[in-house]
Amino acid sequence: MACVHVFGQSTHEPVVEPIHGILDSYCLSPTLRVGDRVGQHPKDDTFHGICTSCLFHHALKQALLPLEEAGRTGVQMVNGHGDVCHCFPLVAAYLGDYPEQILINIAPYDTSPVTTATRNNTGAANRFPECTYEVIMEALQELCKEFREEKTAENTLTYHVRASALGLSAVHEPFWENLLHVQPNKMVTPDILHNAHGFFCHHIMQWVFNLVDKADFNLRVVAMPRMVGLRAYPSGLSKVKQWTGRDAREVQRYILGLIQGAPKIKPKVIKAICALLDFIYIAQYHSHSNDTLKYLKTALQDFHKNKHIFWDLGACTGERSGLENFKIPKLCGFHDYEPSIWQFGTIMQFSTDITEFLHKQSTKEPYHSTNKQDFMAQICIILDCHEKWAQFHQYLAWVQNRFTNRETSPWSDMDSVDESDTNVYNSKNNATQYSVPYQCSVA
């Protein structure tokens, strides 16, 4: 549930349309006078980001409103065996990349979304105390007493500065505020795709390009023998504009062999990269023990011991300040792996590979079915059509199950089949006549 208007260059995210719908509904209400207030808002990117973040939390709070009462009193739910249970649904984990994580935990940018580590402490070798629910709410209460109910554009920017000093963003009403047993410091789980693989692609590989001449490095990549199971890069790796999770996994398999023998590659460089690869591989285990978690912690400590070799050799260059102290939020996120594994188990179940894969079905494929003009409305129509066909297909499967399992079903006495069911489904083979369409034309 990320609004990519804030975090990325793409504007094709399906969830953006309902948020725009909320904005339109307010703008079309004359009694709210939203047009007048918009005219008074300063043209400031910071103010726009604050408003978008507050809108995100407000929308998500309304979506999760039924969980507040259900978490306290419980709700009747049927499990896979057909037994009715009294359940208490709770929000346990939230999948997202770094921008979404700081948005969820109302943390300032370039800080840790889970701990109290600030911008100047993200490169520390030790983990800072967790930013718990009590710590966040205490800071929000302090800000509420200071600013009271006065909400203007100028006060909002002042509130943002004051909240940043307390380690918070300008969001004053997080969506999880009234959810039962919610723990924001535990709810945000490590993301192996954007965190570990992203750190390898955006930092380690760039430092390697600075140590090894790009032309020489590309020749080494091209000269690799073609082998089954290894992806080939005929043009080299320095020209890759957008790294994917598959690219990161492929390069991690032979990066040590590619850089061997380069003049600037010192033994500590090999040790640092080897320790990082050990950390990434161990973190992806599908089961863990006390020993594996000890190996995970040791690998991270070894990387911190040898990381300064990149700065000493002049590999850490760029517009970003603080690289000499490795003030990188992704590096700070590595400390959260071990506590999260103790809390929820393996982190592979919370990887955003799951949600990133859905971008193809929910955004890219419907976009190619449009005429590329006013595509947002067309994408919503196509997705709505697909959803209706999927629901109808599911209904046909349910009817088939009622006819085939009626004699052996333990609750067959409670079911009744009317003529409408028999008219919709007359034979077992009728279900194959209905399928979800791949594309839907829009007039």
Do residue 208 and residue 164 come from a single domain?
no
Is it the case that residue 249 has pLDDT exceeding 70? yes
Do residue 146 and residue 241 come from a single domain?
no
Q: How far apart are alpha carbons 217 and 220 in whole angstroms?
A: 5
Residue 363 falls within a domain, yes or no? no
Is it the case that residue 42 has pLDDT exceeding 50? no
Residue 443 falls within a domain, yes or no? no
Rg (CA), the chain: 26
Residue 441 falls within a domain, yes or no? no
**Res 152: pLDDT:** 61
Do residue 41 and residue 122 come from a single domain?
yes
The whole-angstrom distance between residue 430's C-alpha and the CA centroid of its chain comes to 40
Please name the helix (run of DSSP H) or strand (run of DSSP E) that holds residue 75, with its range, or none: strand 75-78
189, 218, 238: which is the final residue of a domain?
Answer: 189
Within the chain, what is the greatest distance between any pair of CA atoms? 81
Do residue 177 and residue 198 come from a single domain?
no
In this structure, what are the phi and psi dihedrals at residue 85, rounded to the nearest 5 degrees? -120, 150
Do residue 286 and residue 339 come from a single domain?
yes
Do residue 257 and residue 182 come from a single domain?
no
DSSP assignment letter at 116:
S
Residue 355 falls within a domain, yes or no? no
Do residue 248 and residue 340 come from a single domain?
yes
Say what the pTM is: 0.75
Do residue 160 and residue 198 come from a single domain?
no
Do residue 125 and residue 257 come from a single domain?
no
Q: How far apart are alpha carbons 286 and 415 in whole angstroms?
A: 42
Closest C-alpha to 423, from 390, 386, 396, 385: 396
Q: pLDDT category, 365, cuts 50, 70, 90?
A: confident
**Res 116: pLDDT:** 92
Q: How far apart are alpha carbons 129 and 81 in whole angstroms?
A: 43
Q: How far apart are alpha carbons 157 and 170 in whole angstroms?
A: 8
Residue ranges making up the domain that contains 284: 193-349
Closest C-alpha to 14, from 389, 439, 358: 358
In this structure, what are the phi and psi dihedrals at residue 30, rounded to the nearest 5 degrees? -65, -35
Give the number of residues written for the chain: 443
Do residue 69 and residue 14 come from a single domain?
yes
Q: Which two tokens stand for residue 259?
A: 């850089």
Give per-residue pLDDT as tens, 368-382.
888 888 888 898 899
Q: Which residues pair with 86 in a beta bridge?
A: 76
Is it the case that residue 130 has pLDDT exceeding 60? yes
- Sequence letter at residue 254: Y
138, 171, 189: which is the final residue of a domain?
Answer: 189
Do residue 70 and residue 87 come from a single domain?
yes
**Domain tally for the chain?**
3
Do residue 260 and residue 141 come from a single domain?
no
Q: Which residues pair with 78 in a beta bridge?
A: 84
Residue 356 falls within a domain, yes or no? no
